[in-house]
Structure 1
Amino acid sequence: MFSSLITSRIVATLSALLVILVGCGAGIWQLNRADQKIRLGQSLAAKLQMPILNANTDSLSLEQATERRILARGRFMPDEAIWLDNRPKPIPEGATGGSGQSGFYVMMPMKLDGQEAVLWVNRGWAPRNGENRVELPSVKTVGNEVAIEGVAFPHPGRVYELGKKDATQSSPRIEQNFDLGLEAQTHQWQQLPFIVRESGSSKEDGLLRNWPSPTNGVDRHYAYAFQWFALAFTGFLFWLINGLMKYRRELAANGDKG
Structure 2
Amino acid sequence: MHIVDRLRRPEYTGANRCLPCTVVNLLIAAVLSAAVATLIVSLGRPAFAAPAGGLVFLTATGLVYVRGYLVPGTPTLTKRYLPAPVLALFGKGPQSARPDRETESIADFDVESVLLDVGALEPCGDDLCLTTWYRDAWQDAVATVDADREALLSQLDLDAATVEFEEYGDAFQARVDETTVGTWESRAAFEADIAAASVLEDAYDDWDRLSVQQRGQVLNGLRLFLDTCPECGGTPTFGAETVQSCCHEYEVAAVTCGDCSARLFESEPV
* Structure showing greater Rg: 1
TM-score by length of 1: 0.23
Relative to its length, the structure with more helix (as a share) is 2
TM-score by length of 2: 0.23
